[in-house]
Structures are given as C-alpha cells and as structure tokens.
Amino acid sequence: MSRRVLVVDDSPLARTLLARTLAQAGWEVLQAANGAEGAMLALRESPTAVVTDLEMPVMDGSQLLHLLKADPATRHIPVIVLTSHDEAVARFWGLSSGADAYLTKDEVGSALLDTLGRLHDHSTSGEEVPARTELRTAEEVLAQVARHLDTSLMHATLTRALLERGMAASGLHEACRACLELLNQVVDAHLLAVAMAEADTVIAHLLLASPLSLRSTDRCTSALLAHLPITAGSVLDVVISGETTGGDEVDPNQLLFSPLPMRDVSACLALLPRRPDRHLEVARPLVAGALGHLALVLDNARLAQRLRELSTLDSLTKQLNRGTILHRLMEELERASRYGHSLAVILCDLDHFKAVNDTHGHLAGDAVLRGAASSLRATLRIGDALGRYGGEEFLAILPAASLEAARVAAERARRNLAQTPIPLPGGGALKITASFGVAALDELPPRPTPEALIDLADQRVYEAKSAGRNCVRP
C-alpha cells in the first residue's frame, strides 16, 4: 500500500522542513496550509496518514480532527498532532479530539518517523479502506465540513443538556422523565422509554409523546419488559407519563431498542418513531451518540436512589423502615393538626408467623414478609405510606382518611393477603393471614402524639387477635 502522508501546517517553512524529512524516509507528501485545505485533500486524496498542527487559520487542527474522525471515508486514517505547544491542556484537547498521537515539533526526527510508521502499519493491517470520496469542488468539501461541524455541535448540545437536566433531578424516575422529555425534542416518536433490570427489581419509565390508547400502552409496556432478563418474583416499578385515554393505536413490534451501558444492570432505551425510515436517517445517529451520557445520568440517579433507600427502606421488605415511618407519621400528624385534616393509621400483625419460621425455615419466613409487604402495598393508595414497624408488624399511614375509610382499607388489605398465596423458596406457596388494628386522629384528645395513635391501633390489634385473628378492629 502507498505511503502517502498529508502535512497540515500554516507555516510554509515548517511544511517544507517536514516534507523534506518525510520524503527522505520514503513518504509521498501532500501539503495543506490550514485545516480547511487539509480536509479537502484528505477527502479527495485519502492519504494513509495525516500530520497536523493545532493552531491554524480558517480551521484549526482540533476541528480538522473532529471532521476526519467523524467521516466514514477518513476515520480510518491515523492522525498525528505535531505542534509547538507542550501544555497539558493542549495535549488533552488534541488527544480528546481524536488524535492517534501527540508530538512536539522538537520531535520531528526519529520519534515522528517511528510513530508514523507504527500507526501506518497498524491502520493497514487487514482492514478494508473505504473508497475515496468523490468531491469535485472546494465548495462541496467545505459544505461537508460545515455539516460535520454542525452535527458535532448538535451532539455536544444534546449531551450537555442531558447531563444538566438529569443531574438536577431529585430521583431516578424524575431523571428518566427529564432525559426522555429532552430526547423527545429531537425524536419524532409516539413513545420513548427507559428500563433497567436488577437482581430483584425492574424499573421502567415510559413517556407518551402523544396520547396512546390504554391497550397500546399496555402492549408497549409488556414489549419493553420482555426485552429485559427479568427474574421471577422481581418487583416491578413502572411509571407512565402522558395521556392513556382516547389516544392512537400503535404497533409495539415497531419499537426500536438500544442497550444502555449501565453498571451491574441490564438496561435499554426504547423508541417508537412515527416514521421509522426518517428516524433511521436523521434522529438515530444523534440518539446513538448520546447513549453513553444517558446511561451515565441514569446510573448516577439509580445509585443515588439506592443510597437514599439504604437509609430509609427496610432491606428485606423494601418498605419504609421503622425510623422513617415514624418520622413520616410525625410529619403527617403535624400537617393534619395544622390544617384540620383527618388522619388514620393501620397496624398489621401477621398471624402465627413464628410457626412459619419453625415449620418452613427462616428463608421461607423472609419470603412471607416480602410477600405480605407487597400485598399490603398493593391495596393502599399512592399517597399512603407503609413501613415495617417491627418483626412481623407493618404500619400504614393514611392521610385525609377517616376511621371508617381506614377500616375499609384495612379490610381490603386483610382480604387480599388472606387470598393470595405467597411463593416459597424451592417451590410451593403459603397462605397467611393477619390481624389489623385501625385508629384515627379524631379519636384522640387534643395535642395527640404519634405514640398515642399507634398505641390505640396496637390495642385494637390485640382485640383482633383475641377475636380469633384474621380480622379488623374496630
């Protein structure tokens, strides 16, 4: 293969000296006085290597690097930055722009020739070289240069916005929504979504860019989850943003998936473009360039959420721990007292739980606690709080609920728990019941305390136990 090198430098003297050194070493030398000329020659002549200065008029070396590494016709060409600047920032920017090597002009001798030969040999070892670009005029080349630079600027703008919005979010789902809303500005899609599967938890966030029917939303959600390796019994945490009534019908088979490189989790971005052919041509390259930064933002949000959960959630049941649920009760009690709202609590104690441990083992007991917590949570309102109060006791806080409303909620929870078999490790399932005590704020004297409200609910749990268990009191 030919040994043709393109030298790009705005100094005629530097070009002449460098061309002489390279020619003596057997290289055919092309010369350009600035980055724009260098880009035109690189695209027209397909040299086997490029040696460029950094500071030049019209187009500098960094811009030339970005262009050469972005264009399929030239990205295979090794580029050496040869400059008089030896500052760390210049070296960092040159290498970050795509340079294969960074040398100073006092290394024009053997160091340059050795580096050039090594890069040339590596770049031509068995790789197919793209055909030369057929560009006839300088205007055509400059137009291509402008397009590449504009694309690079758009990628940088999208990346910066992803980082700014995602890092400003206070939680994982908020970060998901912020990033999806930003991507929605560059993707013409019916739906955008991200999903991630951990060992025992699946988190998904779907953004409906336009109203979709409930049927289509459900089918797209199922297709999204089916794309991940989900283990049996995983907790599903799915949030849907957007309108799901009276909307369009769409085909979930048209979802486009891209893997997200997140740590210790299987994750993906899903898009349902309105015009798949146009998306592949225009938006997909832009989105593909942002996947790494999107993964970084979501990874940070996920890990930050995990840190918060370690301090607020019970590690076994994934519900609020004792300290957090009591703090939440204090907050709700103060709010109810200040605004004259009602407030109720439900205390739940699993029946015969010691027998579960004694008969089936502690692993089965852990499974029962997780299953019971999941069953109780499923029957509560979104704004209600549930926490593990003790070993097999759970405390639910129901803001703006009367004693009767809380009693109905407790009965619903009791019935769901009693009717739902809980899978056990190693196979089989177990049904379990619980006794419930309900108490409301308006039953207490003025200036009530959280302890007084819980004590009243605890008395009623004892009454339920005395009445034969698996019931609600009052």
Q: Quick check: is 148 in a domain? A: no
**Same domain (yes/no): 279, 364:** no
pLDDT surpassing 90 at residue 175? yes
Q: What is the 3-state secondary structure (H, E, C) of 68-89?
A: HHHCCCCCCCCEEEEECCCCHH
Domain-ending residue, one of 254, 287, 311: 311
Residue type, 48: T
Could you tell me the two tokens for 370? 């997780």
Q: Quick check: is 146 in a domain? A: no
Q: Quick check: is 150 in a domain? A: no
Q: How confident is the model at residue 29 (pLDDT cuts 50, 70, 90)?
A: very high
pLDDT digits (tens, 9 = 90+) for 35-80: 888 988 888 888 999 999 999 988 888 888 888 888 888 888 999 9
What CATH number does the domain containing 326 carry? 3.30.70.270
Q: How confident is the model at residue 245 (pLDDT cuts 50, 70, 90)?
A: low
Q: How confident is the model at residue 280 (pLDDT cuts 50, 70, 90)?
A: low
Q: How far apart are CA 89 and CA 100, in angstroms?
A: 16
Those residues with Cβ within 8 angstroms of residue 255's Cβ, 6 or more apart along the chain or in another chain:
191, 220, 223, 224, 270, 271, 272
Of 202, 467, 459, 230, nearest to 347 by C-alpha is: 459
pLDDT surpassing 70 at residue 162? yes
**pTM: predicted TM-score of the whole model, two decimal places:** 0.59
**Same domain (yes/no): 293, 441:** no
What CATH number does the domain containing 249 carry? 3.30.450
For residue 380, the enclosing domain spans: 322-473
Higher pLDDT, 283 or 263: 263
**Same domain (yes/no): 209, 344:** no
**Same domain (yes/no): 465, 361:** yes
Query: What percent of the chain clears pLDDT 90, i.e. is strictly above it?
Result: 52
Q: How far apart are CA 228 and CA 199, in angstroms?
A: 12
**Same domain (yes/no): 289, 390:** no
**Same domain (yes/no): 462, 343:** yes
Question: Is residue 452 classed exposed, middle or buried when 0-12, 13-18 and 19+ CB atoms within 10 A define those classes?
Answer: middle
pLDDT surpassing 80 at residue 150? no
**Same domain (yes/no): 221, 277:** yes
Residue with tokens 């979504």: 193
pLDDT surpassing 90 at residue 441? yes
Question: Do you know the residue count of the chain?
Answer: 474
Q: How far apart are CA 204 and CA 239, in angstroms?
A: 6
**Same domain (yes/no): 68, 128:** yes
pLDDT surpassing 60 at residue 135? no
